[in-house]
Structures are given as C-alpha cells and as structure tokens.
Amino acid sequence: MNTEVRETIFQHALEWVLEAGKTIRAHMNDPLTIDTKSNANDLVTTMDRDIEAFFTSNIKQIFPDHFILSEEGFGDQLDTMDGTVWIIDPIDGTMNFVHQKRNFAISVGIYQDGIGEIGFIYNVMEDVLYSAKRGEGAYKGNKKLPALNDNLNFHESIIGLNHFWLCENRLVDERVMQQLVKDVRGTRTYGSAALEFASVAEGILDGYLTLSLSPWDLAAGMVIVNEVGGMTTTIDGEKINMLGNNSVFTCNSKIHQRILESYLQEARK
Ligand code: IPD
Ligand code: CA
Ligand code: CA
Ligand code: CA
C-alpha cells in the first residue's frame, strides 16, 4: 500500500474510531437492548450494531471500493483478502460492556491483499488508543511502544488465557495446560481479545492463548503486536487464516517456541 494512500485511510479510521468511542461513552447509561446469538452467554446489544453500522456507512461512502469484514452482519461476505479490507469489531468484549461498563474495545484492522497495514484498538472507557502502521511502530496514545523485552525469562512471564484451557475439553489436554499455568509467573483473563493483544504489545502481558477467535478479534492486534517484535500464530504454530476462525497464540517472540514445543504440542489432541 502506497504510504500516502495509507495515511489518508489511517486519518479517516482514526477519526471514526474516536467518534465511535465518544458515542459509546455518551450513551453508556442508556437502557440497553440485549439479545443473544449462538448461546445464552453470547451477547449482542443495539450498541454493537449501531457502531458497526456507523463504520460501514462511513467506509462505503468515502472508500466505495474497499471491503468490510465485521461481526454483526453489516459488512461484506468475503472469500478472498484481495484489495483493501477493513476488519472491524465494533465492541470487543460485549460481556464486559454489558456487565462491567468497561474493559471493552473497538478493534479495526486494515489489510491490503492480506497484509496488515493499519491497526487500532481503542479502550473506550479509559480513552486509551493503541495504533500501528506496518513498518512504522506501534503507539499507545502519542507514545511509541518500545520493542518487547528481549531477555524475557519464560518462568517470569504472565500469560493471558481463560478457564476453557483448564477444564476438560476436546481440543487440548487440560493437565498439560495446568502444568503451563504452574510453570509461568501468573495468568490473567481480561475478556476482550483485542485488549489482550494490546497488553501483549505493551509488554504487560507476555502472551495470550485462545482456542477460537474470529478475524475481527485479532486483525488489529496482529498488526500492533508485530510492530513491537511480537508474533502471532495458531496454537499449532501455523499462519492465521484471516477468512476463518483460528486458535490463537500471540506473544513475545522469546517464549513462542518454548510454549509451543513444551506445552501446546504436548497438549494437542
Ligand atoms: C469475544 C471476546 C472474548 C473472547 C471471545 C470473543 P466479543 O468477542 O474477545 O474475550 O474470548 O472469543 O468472541 O464477542 O465480545 O466481540
Ligand atoms: Ca460477539
Ligand atoms: Ca470480538
Ligand atoms: Ca464484538
């Protein structure tokens, strides 16, 4: 992507992300209509839909030849990553949005022919914006994020994962995962994949493991983590497919191989 074109897209996206965040904050205490999707705990609200519609109508107006992949159905049905593709999660962490009124994010990744060019993760209630352009580093607000700690010791790392890994499940042997939890310094569960990616990029979390994410949960995060020298693969160490669901392992590159070989490969069913 030509840098001038990218800058124009970046500036529009930035403006829309901040405006969407402002809208959410302004309506935070309005009565909410909450629906469920695949199961009783899979929530969606009118706010998720309104914010997604806000992005899609703006994008279609200013960039009619761009494509959109998004969670709530306002985007396009894509079977290729060719062209410019906006990958949008209007609210990542809807359960936190509903129950906590905080700890959720707007996530926007912009890809050109399958390559992540721009990423935004906006922690709406804290008004903290993580952003990145490919090859130009990642930022938290106006501050450039430093490269991830090159001397990280595996036993001193903090890993983001949720309880699914530790309960009996059909994908991994929970006993191996319990051993991982004992071997690292600590674990955290934030409930917003985007904010977990942002935390990995900031170096306050050293890795994040999850059994299944959609493209809009990870598109922005992958761009941002890449810019500080981190890496993102599936839990089998493979490349992420942007058009489908993936298991995800994003981390400080220092601990990738160790966790992959000593735990994930062992645990895999
Ligand atoms: C969810 C959150 C959550 C993750 C789920 C996602 P949503 O996104 O990122 O942390 O564990 O897999 O679906 O539905 O709140 O946008
Ligand atoms: Ca959802
Ligand atoms: Ca999400
Ligand atoms: Ca969402």
In this prediction, residue 178 has a pLDDT band, given cuts at 50, 70 and 90, of very high
Query: Which ipTM value was assigned to this complex?
Result: 0.98
Q: Show Cβ contacts of residue 181 under 8 Å, excluding neighbours closer than 6 positions.
A: 159, 161, 166, 187
On the question of pLDDT at 265 being above 90, the answer is: yes
In the chain, the percentage of residues whose pLDDT exceeds 90 is: 97
Is the Cβ atom of 89 under 6 angstroms away from ligand 1?
yes
In this prediction, residue 156 has a pLDDT band, given cuts at 50, 70 and 90, of very high
Q: What is the mean pLDDT of residues 212-218?
A: 97
Ligand 1 centre to CA of 92 (Å) is 6
Show me where the domains of the chain are located.
Answer: 3-144, 154-267
Residue 269: its pLDDT value, please?
82
Ligand 3 centre to CA of 191 (Å) is 9
How far is residue 146's CA from residue 184's CA, in Å, rounded to a whole number? 23
Ligand 2 centre to CA of 154 (Å) is 32
- Side chain identity at residue 94, one-letter code: T
Considering only CA atoms, which residue is closest to atom 16 of ligand 1? Answer: 92
Q: Which atom of ligand 1 is nearest to the CA of 43?
A: 14
Residue 110: its pLDDT value, please?
98
Residue 191: its pLDDT value, please?
97
pTM over 0.90: yes
Within a 13 Å sphere around the CA of 179, how many CA atoms are in the beta-carbon half?
Answer: 10
Q: What is the mean pLDDT of residues 211-234?
A: 98
Pocket test for ligand 1, best of 48, 89, 92 (most atoms within 8 A of CB): 92
Q: Which atom of ligand 1 is nearest to the CA of 96?
A: 15
Give the CATH number of domain 154-267. Answer: 3.40.190.80
Ligand 2 centre to CA of 89 (Å) is 8
Is the Cβ atom of 121 under 6 angstroms away from ligand 1?
no
Give the CATH number of domain 3-144. Answer: 3.30.540.10
Q: In this predicted structure, which of 4-8, 11-15, 32-36 has the lowest mean pLDDT?
A: 32-36
- Name residue, tokens 């590159």: 253
Summarised one tens digit per residue, pLDDT across range 193-205 is 999 999 999 999 9
**9 in Cβ contact with 119 (< 8 Å):** no
Residue 240: its pLDDT value, please?
98
Is the Cβ atom of 193 under 6 angstroms away from ligand 1?
yes
Q: What is the mean pLDDT of residues 248-268?
A: 96
Ligand 2 centre to CA of 71 (Å) is 7
Residue 159: its pLDDT value, please?
98
In the chain, the percentage of residues whose pLDDT exceeds 70 is: 100
Q: What is the mean pLDDT of residues 64-89?
A: 98
How far is residue 159's CA from residue 205's CA, in Å, rounded to a whole number? 6
For residue 236, report the phi and psi dihedrals to the nearest 5 degrees. -100, 5
